[in-house]
Structures are given as structure tokens and as C-alpha cells.
Amino acid sequence: MTDRTPIGTGAPPRPDMTTNCVLTDGGGRERVLIPLPILEGQGVPGGLPELLSTTDVILLGYHVVPEQTPPDMMRQQYEEQAQKSLSEVAETFANAGGEAETRLVFTHDREQTVDRVLAETGATAFLLPRPIASVDSVLVPLRGDVDAARIARFVARLRGDRDIDVTLYAATGEGEDAAAAAAAELVDLAAATLTDLGVPADAITERAEVTDTPTRAIIRVAIAHDAVVMGKREPDWRSLIFGELHEQIADESLGPVFVVGDVGE
């Protein structure tokens, strides 16, 4: 089991006061980052340690510090409590037969910290955790600005040799003929990648749909699946008004949502 005692480097602390412990490289396994507001009592919901047993996990325990308060002041006051809670969460992965790297951060900016830790750790995806008893089906929504092959590789490695059905789904707006054709190509590419990586063809469903409400269609289909794996899209006016698509899905679906980014391999 990994030693999770905070490592001191002797260098000046980062502005967001990160404390971390690091696992050895997983040799081709996907790495998943799980951000947790660690002083709010949030742990990892049941079922996730088992689902993530095929991956390397990084638990990012964070606490958002008020802008006028120095992070090191909060760290001095709450680090022991936060580290204890983070170690208890990591123990759930040990009990499930796995391990988890841990990082503890006191920060003014959660999103900036998550992006930084993703880059530093080479994590492939971050997770919006939700409780799940078991996973029999995974939805993979595909849009024109995501790397379908990369997402499919993540899905194949997450699935492993387990009996999990994968639905590849693309929804485009009415009248967007070029976009609809591109979406169908994305679905085909993802399916080919999955089969090349050993996912049985009969475990893969391909769906492409033209609708006047693509976002609502994706959310509707997501609700019927146990988990969602999707790419992180560039922000647009819709995300500024309604929130990121992965956040909308996580708000309405019952299972965990994995967001595959542009870092890691």
C-alpha cells in the first residue's frame, strides 16, 4: 500500500499549497483524477473503487480558500484534518484491491488547480463521482470537436474484460448535414478503435440522431446508462449560459461521468 505521508521538498510552497504522494507509473493503464472537496465530508461513492480497479487513481482533495485568505494559513489550520479524511478515502481503494495517489490542495481557484494537476500527473480523465452499484452499460457521447479514438481507448481500458455494453452516440441539429455526416464518422471511428482493442462487437451499439435539441437528447440517453464517458469540449456561448455539458449530464444522470481531456496518453 502506498505511503501517503506528505512529502516535503524543501522548496517554497506553491501558491495553492499542494501536498502530494505519488504512485509509480501504471505501465499503460489510464489515470483518472477525482477532485473531492475534502473538508466538506465528501468521499468516493460506493461502487467506484471497483469500477476504477482497471485504472490508476489520483485523489485530489481540495479546499477553496477565500480570496483574501492566504492558502498557507488555511493549510496550517486544516491540513491534518484534511489529510486524515483524504487517507480514509484512499483506504477504500485499498479495500477494493487497488491503490490511489493522493494530493491535497488549498487553493483560491478550483478549476485552475484541477487543470494544473491533470497536466502534472498526465491523467487522461477526471471524474464527476456518483454512487453506482454496478456498471452494465456506458454511454459515450461524441461531438465534432472531440478525439473519438482517444475516448474509445479510455473506454476499452476502463472496461477491461468485464461484461459492460458500450453505446456510441452522436446527436446533431436538424439541417446540419455536414455535421451529421462527421458525427457518423466519429461513431464509426470509435467503434473500430474499440474492436481493435478487444471489445466484442456485440457489446458495442452505434447510434446517430438528428434532433432539434442535441444537448437534451444526450442527457436523455445518458439517464438510461450506468456511466458516461465523454470528451471535454472547448467552452462556447451555450456552456457560458447553461454550464459545461458534462456538468449538465452529471446533474441529471444517476451514474458517474468521466471527462477525457487533452493530457496523458
Q: How far is residue 159's CA from residue 128's CA, in Å, rounded to a whole number?
A: 18
Q: Identify the CA nearest to 50 among candidates 114, 131, 167, 155.
A: 131
Q: Where are the beta strands (DSSP E) in 29-164?
A: 31-37, 56-64, 100-107, 125-128, 137-141
pTM of the model: 0.81
The domains of the chain, with CATH numbers, are 18-123 (3.40.50.620), 137-260 (3.40.50.620)
What stretches in the chain show pLDDT beneath 50? 1-15, 17, 20-27, 235-243, 263-265
Rounded Cα distance, 224 and 171, in Å:
16
CA-CA distance, 190 to 147, in Å (whole number)?
A: 9
- The tens digit of pLDDT for each residue in 156-178 reads 999 999 999 999 999 888 776 77
